[in-house]
Amino acid sequence: MSSQTPPECQGNSSDAQRARLLHRLRQGPITTTDARHDLDILHPPGRVKELRKAGFVIEMWRVPGYNSNGKLHNVGLYTLTQEPPSATVDGSL
């Protein structure tokens, strides 16, 4: 995580993980593998599900990607396509 990461993104709580993921999705697509490695989110699909429940429209496609051991897998590629009218900056529920 960079020094430009907003304060609400710090920590390991579900709220902080959601905030990190939303912050990153607003910059562009991210894979499950990258969310785990770069954002320290153990279960990205769970955070995506929570964001969707809060009204965010997040598309997912299966794409080939390599894990940290160099093995090829199909991974999810997530893209934020629409935010709810009442979206908060940090994606809190």
Q: Provide the residue ranges of all domains of the chain, joining segments of one domain with +.
A: 13-82
Q: Tell me if residue 6 falls in helix, strand or coil.
A: coil
- Is residue 75 within 8 A of residue 86, CB to CB? The reply is no
Fold of 13-82: Arc Repressor Mutant, subunit A (1.10.10)
| pLDDT digits 0-9 by tens, 34-91 | 999 999 999 999 999 999 999 999 999 999 988 878 899 999 999 999 999 876 655 5
pTM summary value = 0.83
Say if residue 3's pLDDT is above 50: no
What residues are paired with 79 via a beta bridge?
Answer: 59
Cα(47)–Cα(49) distance, rounded to whole angstroms? 5
Give the model's confidence band at 93: pLDDT under 50 very low, under 70 low, under 90 confident, else very high: low
pLDDT at position 67 is: 81
- Is residue 9 within 8 A of residue 19, CB to CB? The reply is yes
Residue owning tokens 């969707």 = 52
- Is residue 26 within 8 A of residue 49, CB to CB? The reply is no
Give the model's confidence band at 8: pLDDT under 50 very low, under 70 low, under 90 confident, else very high: confident
| pLDDT digits 0-9 by tens, 9-30 | 888 899 999 999 999 999 999 9
Q: Tell me if residue 50 falls in helix, strand or coil.
A: helix
What residues are paired with 60 via a beta bridge?
Answer: 78
